[in-house]
Structure 1
Amino acid sequence: MADKTAFEIPEPMRTFADKSVDQAKKAFDDFMTATVKAIDKAETSAKSLQSGTQDLNRQAIGFVEENVAATFEFAQKLVRAKTIEEFGELQKEFLAKQAEAVRGQSQNLTEMMGRVASDAATKAKG
Protein backbone atom coordinates (compact mmCIF):
# COMPACT_ATOMS: atom_id res chain seq x y z
CA MET A 1 0.00 0.00 0.00
CA ALA A 2 1.39 3.33 -1.01
CA ASP A 3 1.73 6.14 1.51
CA LYS A 4 -0.84 8.68 0.44
CA THR A 5 0.23 11.25 3.08
CA ALA A 6 3.62 11.87 1.52
CA PHE A 7 3.96 15.33 0.09
CA GLU A 8 6.41 16.11 -2.63
CA ILE A 9 7.68 19.68 -3.05
CA PRO A 10 7.10 20.70 -6.65
CA GLU A 11 10.21 21.27 -8.80
CA PRO A 12 9.41 24.96 -9.55
CA MET A 13 9.16 25.66 -5.80
CA ARG A 14 12.49 23.93 -5.10
CA THR A 15 14.13 25.83 -7.97
CA PHE A 16 12.73 29.10 -6.65
CA ALA A 17 13.95 28.33 -3.10
CA ASP A 18 17.39 27.36 -4.40
CA LYS A 19 17.69 30.62 -6.36
CA SER A 20 16.50 32.59 -3.32
CA VAL A 21 19.20 31.05 -1.13
CA ASP A 22 21.83 31.76 -3.80
CA GLN A 23 20.67 35.39 -4.06
CA ALA A 24 20.67 35.79 -0.28
CA LYS A 25 24.20 34.35 -0.08
CA LYS A 26 25.41 36.68 -2.84
CA ALA A 27 23.79 39.68 -1.13
CA PHE A 28 25.48 38.73 2.15
CA ASP A 29 28.84 38.22 0.42
CA ASP A 30 28.49 41.64 -1.24
CA PHE A 31 27.60 43.20 2.10
CA MET A 32 30.64 41.64 3.79
CA THR A 33 32.93 42.80 0.98
CA ALA A 34 31.62 46.35 1.31
CA THR A 35 32.01 46.19 5.10
CA VAL A 36 35.62 45.03 4.87
CA LYS A 37 36.39 47.81 2.38
CA ALA A 38 34.79 50.40 4.67
CA ILE A 39 36.80 49.14 7.63
CA ASP A 40 40.01 49.25 5.58
CA LYS A 41 39.30 52.84 4.53
CA ALA A 42 38.54 53.83 8.11
CA GLU A 43 41.76 52.22 9.33
CA THR A 44 43.78 53.91 6.59
CA SER A 45 42.20 57.24 7.42
CA ALA A 46 42.82 56.74 11.14
CA LYS A 47 46.47 55.82 10.51
CA SER A 48 46.90 58.89 8.33
CA LEU A 49 45.26 61.08 10.93
CA GLN A 50 47.38 59.54 13.69
CA SER A 51 50.57 60.08 11.71
CA GLY A 52 49.58 63.65 10.93
CA THR A 53 48.74 64.30 14.56
CA GLN A 54 52.15 63.02 15.59
CA ASP A 55 53.76 65.42 13.10
CA LEU A 56 51.69 68.28 14.52
CA ASN A 57 52.72 67.36 18.06
CA ARG A 58 56.40 67.26 17.11
CA GLN A 59 56.09 70.63 15.37
CA ALA A 60 54.31 72.15 18.38
CA ILE A 61 57.02 70.84 20.71
CA GLY A 62 59.63 72.36 18.42
CA PHE A 63 57.86 75.71 18.65
CA VAL A 64 57.73 75.47 22.44
CA GLU A 65 61.47 74.78 22.51
CA GLU A 66 62.14 77.77 20.24
CA ASN A 67 59.98 80.04 22.37
CA VAL A 68 61.56 78.90 25.65
CA ALA A 69 65.06 79.35 24.21
CA ALA A 70 64.12 82.86 23.04
CA THR A 71 62.73 83.67 26.47
CA PHE A 72 65.89 82.52 28.24
CA GLU A 73 68.01 84.53 25.81
CA PHE A 74 65.79 87.54 26.53
CA ALA A 75 66.15 87.01 30.28
CA GLN A 76 69.94 86.89 29.96
CA LYS A 77 69.93 90.15 28.01
CA LEU A 78 67.65 91.79 30.58
CA VAL A 79 69.89 90.97 33.52
CA ARG A 80 72.81 92.55 31.64
CA ALA A 81 70.92 95.76 30.87
CA LYS A 82 72.63 98.79 32.39
CA THR A 83 69.89 101.38 31.99
CA ILE A 84 66.13 101.48 32.13
CA GLU A 85 66.13 102.63 28.50
CA GLU A 86 68.14 99.58 27.43
CA PHE A 87 65.78 97.39 29.48
CA GLY A 88 62.77 98.92 27.73
CA GLU A 89 64.35 98.56 24.27
CA LEU A 90 65.19 94.90 24.91
CA GLN A 91 61.64 94.25 26.01
CA LYS A 92 60.23 96.01 22.95
CA GLU A 93 62.46 93.99 20.60
CA PHE A 94 61.61 90.73 22.33
CA LEU A 95 57.88 91.35 22.15
CA ALA A 96 58.08 92.24 18.45
CA LYS A 97 60.15 89.11 17.66
CA GLN A 98 57.85 86.86 19.68
CA ALA A 99 54.72 88.32 18.10
CA GLU A 100 56.18 87.58 14.65
CA ALA A 101 57.30 84.10 15.76
CA VAL A 102 53.86 83.25 17.15
CA ARG A 103 52.19 84.51 13.99
CA GLY A 104 54.43 82.32 11.84
CA GLN A 105 54.02 79.33 14.15
CA SER A 106 50.25 79.68 14.16
CA GLN A 107 50.18 79.90 10.38
CA ASN A 108 52.43 76.85 10.09
CA LEU A 109 50.27 74.77 12.46
CA THR A 110 47.08 75.87 10.71
CA GLU A 111 48.48 74.79 7.35
CA MET A 112 49.66 71.47 8.81
CA MET A 113 46.22 70.80 10.33
CA GLY A 114 44.61 71.49 6.96
CA ARG A 115 46.97 69.06 5.22
CA VAL A 116 46.40 66.38 7.87
CA ALA A 117 42.62 66.70 7.58
CA SER A 118 42.78 66.75 3.79
CA ASP A 119 45.07 63.71 3.63
CA ALA A 120 42.85 61.77 6.02
CA ALA A 121 39.74 62.65 4.02
CA THR A 122 41.42 61.70 0.74
CA LYS A 123 42.55 58.35 2.11
CA ALA A 124 39.10 57.72 3.56
CA LYS A 125 37.55 58.22 0.12
CA GLY A 126 40.03 55.77 -1.35
Structure 2
Amino acid sequence: MSDDGRFEIPKEMRSMAEASFEQARQTFEKFLSSAHQAAGSFEDRGAAARTNVKDIGSKAVAFAEKNVQTSLDYAQALLKAKDLTEVMRLHSEYVQGQMRALAEQASEMGQIVSRAAMDAAKPKSSGEA
Protein backbone atom coordinates (compact mmCIF):
# COMPACT_ATOMS: atom_id res chain seq x y z
CA MET A 1 0.00 0.00 0.00
CA SER A 2 1.12 3.54 -0.56
CA ASP A 3 1.32 6.18 2.14
CA ASP A 4 -2.16 7.46 1.26
CA GLY A 5 -3.72 4.01 1.93
CA ARG A 6 -4.29 3.01 -1.69
CA PHE A 7 -3.33 -0.41 -2.99
CA GLU A 8 -0.58 -0.21 -5.61
CA ILE A 9 0.57 -2.91 -7.99
CA PRO A 10 4.36 -3.36 -7.85
CA LYS A 11 6.16 -2.21 -11.00
CA GLU A 12 7.59 -5.70 -11.66
CA MET A 13 4.13 -7.32 -11.41
CA ARG A 14 2.66 -4.69 -13.72
CA SER A 15 5.44 -5.28 -16.28
CA MET A 16 4.91 -9.04 -16.11
CA ALA A 17 1.13 -8.64 -16.45
CA GLU A 18 1.54 -6.30 -19.43
CA ALA A 19 3.85 -8.82 -21.15
CA SER A 20 1.35 -11.62 -20.50
CA PHE A 21 -1.45 -9.40 -21.77
CA GLU A 22 0.44 -8.68 -25.02
CA GLN A 23 1.10 -12.41 -25.50
CA ALA A 24 -2.62 -13.12 -24.98
CA ARG A 25 -3.54 -10.45 -27.55
CA GLN A 26 -1.12 -11.97 -30.12
CA THR A 27 -2.49 -15.47 -29.46
CA PHE A 28 -6.02 -14.15 -29.92
CA GLU A 29 -5.10 -12.54 -33.24
CA LYS A 30 -3.66 -15.86 -34.47
CA PHE A 31 -6.84 -17.65 -33.32
CA LEU A 32 -8.98 -15.14 -35.21
CA SER A 33 -6.99 -15.66 -38.39
CA SER A 34 -7.45 -19.43 -38.12
CA ALA A 35 -11.16 -19.08 -37.31
CA HIS A 36 -11.74 -16.87 -40.34
CA GLN A 37 -9.96 -19.44 -42.53
CA ALA A 38 -12.04 -22.27 -41.07
CA ALA A 39 -15.29 -20.35 -41.61
CA GLY A 40 -14.31 -19.83 -45.23
CA SER A 41 -13.63 -23.54 -45.75
CA PHE A 42 -17.34 -24.33 -45.58
CA GLU A 43 -17.74 -22.97 -49.12
CA ASP A 44 -17.56 -26.46 -50.63
CA ARG A 45 -21.09 -27.35 -49.40
CA GLY A 46 -24.48 -27.07 -51.09
CA ALA A 47 -25.85 -23.57 -51.73
CA ALA A 48 -28.45 -23.32 -48.95
CA ALA A 49 -26.40 -25.28 -46.43
CA ARG A 50 -23.32 -23.29 -47.35
CA THR A 51 -25.07 -20.00 -46.74
CA ASN A 52 -26.52 -21.12 -43.41
CA VAL A 53 -23.31 -22.68 -42.14
CA LYS A 54 -21.28 -19.69 -43.25
CA ASP A 55 -23.74 -17.31 -41.54
CA ILE A 56 -23.63 -19.34 -38.32
CA GLY A 57 -19.84 -19.65 -38.46
CA SER A 58 -19.35 -15.99 -39.24
CA LYS A 59 -21.69 -14.94 -36.45
CA ALA A 60 -19.98 -17.29 -33.97
CA VAL A 61 -16.57 -15.91 -34.93
CA ALA A 62 -17.87 -12.34 -34.64
CA PHE A 63 -19.30 -13.06 -31.19
CA ALA A 64 -16.09 -14.75 -30.06
CA GLU A 65 -14.03 -11.87 -31.41
CA LYS A 66 -16.20 -9.30 -29.63
CA ASN A 67 -16.17 -11.24 -26.33
CA VAL A 68 -12.43 -11.81 -26.33
CA GLN A 69 -11.75 -8.20 -27.31
CA THR A 70 -14.01 -7.03 -24.47
CA SER A 71 -12.15 -9.32 -22.07
CA LEU A 72 -8.77 -8.07 -23.27
CA ASP A 73 -9.93 -4.46 -22.90
CA TYR A 74 -11.14 -5.29 -19.38
CA ALA A 75 -7.79 -6.89 -18.50
CA GLN A 76 -5.95 -3.87 -19.82
CA ALA A 77 -8.18 -1.52 -17.80
CA LEU A 78 -7.46 -3.61 -14.69
CA LEU A 79 -3.74 -3.18 -15.27
CA LYS A 80 -4.23 0.58 -15.17
CA ALA A 81 -6.54 0.59 -12.12
CA LYS A 82 -5.30 2.91 -9.41
CA ASP A 83 -6.98 1.26 -6.43
CA LEU A 84 -9.26 -1.55 -5.28
CA THR A 85 -12.37 0.64 -5.65
CA GLU A 86 -11.60 1.14 -9.34
CA VAL A 87 -10.94 -2.61 -9.78
CA MET A 88 -14.34 -3.39 -8.24
CA ARG A 89 -16.10 -0.81 -10.43
CA LEU A 90 -14.41 -2.14 -13.57
CA HIS A 91 -15.32 -5.71 -12.63
CA SER A 92 -18.96 -4.83 -11.99
CA GLU A 93 -19.24 -3.00 -15.33
CA TYR A 94 -17.55 -5.87 -17.15
CA VAL A 95 -19.79 -8.56 -15.66
CA GLN A 96 -22.98 -6.58 -16.32
CA GLY A 97 -21.92 -5.82 -19.90
CA GLN A 98 -20.99 -9.44 -20.60
CA MET A 99 -24.29 -10.73 -19.23
CA ARG A 100 -26.19 -8.37 -21.55
CA ALA A 101 -23.97 -9.24 -24.51
CA LEU A 102 -24.26 -13.00 -23.95
CA ALA A 103 -28.06 -12.81 -23.68
CA GLU A 104 -28.25 -10.83 -26.93
CA GLN A 105 -25.81 -13.18 -28.66
CA ALA A 106 -27.70 -16.30 -27.52
CA SER A 107 -30.96 -14.86 -28.81
CA GLU A 108 -29.46 -13.88 -32.15
CA MET A 109 -27.70 -17.23 -32.58
CA GLY A 110 -30.93 -19.06 -31.70
CA GLN A 111 -32.77 -17.17 -34.43
CA ILE A 112 -30.08 -17.93 -37.00
CA VAL A 113 -29.97 -21.65 -36.11
CA SER A 114 -33.78 -21.85 -36.20
CA ARG A 115 -33.84 -20.31 -39.69
CA ALA A 116 -31.14 -22.71 -40.83
CA ALA A 117 -33.07 -25.68 -39.42
CA MET A 118 -36.27 -24.56 -41.15
CA ASP A 119 -34.40 -24.12 -44.44
CA ALA A 120 -32.88 -27.58 -44.10
CA ALA A 121 -36.29 -29.12 -43.38
CA LYS A 122 -37.96 -27.58 -46.43
CA PRO A 123 -38.74 -30.19 -49.07
CA LYS A 124 -36.77 -29.84 -52.28
CA SER A 125 -38.71 -28.52 -55.22
CA SER A 126 -38.77 -30.58 -58.39
CA GLY A 127 -36.34 -28.18 -60.05
CA GLU A 128 -33.61 -28.81 -57.45
CA ALA A 129 -31.08 -31.61 -57.68
Per the shorter chain, which TM-score range? 0.5 to 0.7
Distance 2:49 2:104 in 1: 23
Question: Aligned residue for 1:104?
Answer: 104
Query: What is the total number of aligned residue pairs between the two structures?
Result: 80
- Tell me, yes or no, if the aligned pair for 1:52 and 1:116 is still in contact at 8 Å: yes
Give the residue type in structure 2 aligned to 1:58.
S
State the SS of the aligned residue for 2:110.
helix
Shift of 1:125: 4.5
Shift of 1:49: 2.6
* Bigger Cα Rg: 1
Structure 2, unaligned stretches of length 5 or more? 1-45
State the SS of the aligned residue for 2:82.
coil
Question: Aligned residue for 2:84?
Answer: 84
Distance 1:75 1:105 in 2: 22
Runs of 4+ in structure 1 deviating by more than 3 angstroms, as ranges, are none
Structure 1, unaligned stretches of length 5 or more? 1-45
- Tell me, yes or no, if the aligned pair for 1:49 and 1:117 is still in contact at 8 Å: no
Distance 2:78 2:89 in 1: 10
Question: Aligned residue for 2:120?
Answer: 120
Question: Aligned residue for 2:73?
Answer: 73
Question: Aligned residue for 2:38?
Answer: none
Q: Which has the higher helix share?
A: 1
Distance 2:73 2:84 in 1: 18
Q: What TM-score do the two structures reach when normalised by structure 2? A: 0.58
Distance 2:96 2:110 in 1: 21
Question: Aligned residue for 1:64?
Answer: 64
Residue deviations 1:82-105, cap 9 Å, x none? 110110110010000001101111
The percentage of aligned residue pairs carrying the same residue is: 29
Distance 1:50 1:113 in 2: 13
Distance 2:102 2:83 in 1: 28
Q: What TM-score do the two structures reach when normalised by structure 1? A: 0.59
Distance 2:101 2:58 in 1: 17
Question: Aligned residue for 1:51?
Answer: 51
